[in-house]
Amino acid sequence: MDALTMKKLAGEFAARYVEPHMLIGIGTGSTAYWFIQALGERVKQGLQIQAVATSKESALLASSFEIPILELNNVDEIMLTVDGADEVDPQLQLIKGGGGALLQEKMVAAASQRLVIVADERKLVQQLGKFPLPVEVIPAGWKHVRRRILDMHCPKVELRGQSQPFITDHGHYILDCYFEHIDDAHALNIRLHQIPGVVETGLFLNMATEAIIARADGSIQIIKRES
Ligand code: 5RP
């Protein structure tokens, strides 16, 4: 099974988790796409739900499938959020933000009772860090933040988009940090947040409650967080 088919399998599987009248969080990326599409089909058939989106892109997509979208500020607790990830370790710690939506994704995840990750098996890693860690930063100070991260023994830090910087939904830049391996994700997250100009990091720690992993043989593996 190729990557696209695995993403479709995981995304569509997650759509079954949604029950009538739920307030759900809608993720961003090419795996979340299939979740949104499958959910849209259920909405067309009469399923009543409301949703909060993790990006402008996902809000547009969901609206095109007639899924009602609410602003995060206008809701209390989200029952279930389904989102993708760039790396998933055995404890369900994540790197996210490959699509640049990490800030809104983290705010939505933090407001959610359950965060279910949809991914294909290539995203499973023993240790986080091979995927460059996205860090969202204030544009006016990005060069200083970059220097501080390089000083933290990160071999390479790139401004996403380089001469035409990628601008996030919230008007910030992204630094992609090539740590290669992250030994202590909690400590790193704290150190990054201490740098003035850092808005958010792509480390999603102790947030995911479950992962739906599509395997190349067509099977689904469910990983649940140990409580
Ligand atoms: C966007 C994200 C995505 O969820 C992550 O990059 C995974 O994307 P895909 O499912 O396309 O591989 O964090 O900011």
Burial class, 53, CB count within 10 angstroms (exposed 0-12 / middle 13-18 / buried 19+): buried
Lookup: tokens for 33: 């796409």
Render pLDDT for 88-144 as a digit per residue (tens, 0 to 9): 999 999 999 999 999 999 999 999 999 999 999 999 999 999 999 999 999 999 999
Best residue among 28, 81, 82, 133 to mutate for probing ligand 1's pocket (most ligand atoms within 8 Å of CB) is 28
Report angle CA 178, 223, 50 to the nearest 5 degrees: 90
pLDDT band per the 50, 70, 90 thresholds, residue 41? very high
Residue 105: active-site member: yes
Report pLDDT for 192: 98
Q: What's the distance, Cα to Cα, between the start and end of the chain in Å?
A: 33
Marked catalytic residue, from 57, 66, 71, 105: 105
Q: Ligand 1 centroid to 226 CA: how many Å?
A: 24
pLDDT of residue 226: 83
> Ligand 1: which of 2, 31, 54 to mutate, most ligand atoms within 8 Å of CB?
31
pLDDT digit string (tens) for 10-22?
Answer: 999 999 999 999 9
- Neighbouring C-beta atoms of residue 41, cutoff 10 Å: 12
Q: What is the mean pLDDT of residues 25-39?
A: 98
Pairing status of strand 94-95 against strand 203-204 = antiparallel
What is the predicted pLDDT for the residue at 184? 97
With cut-offs at 50, 70 and 90, classify the pLDDT of residue 34: very high
Residue 227 is predicted with a pLDDT of 73
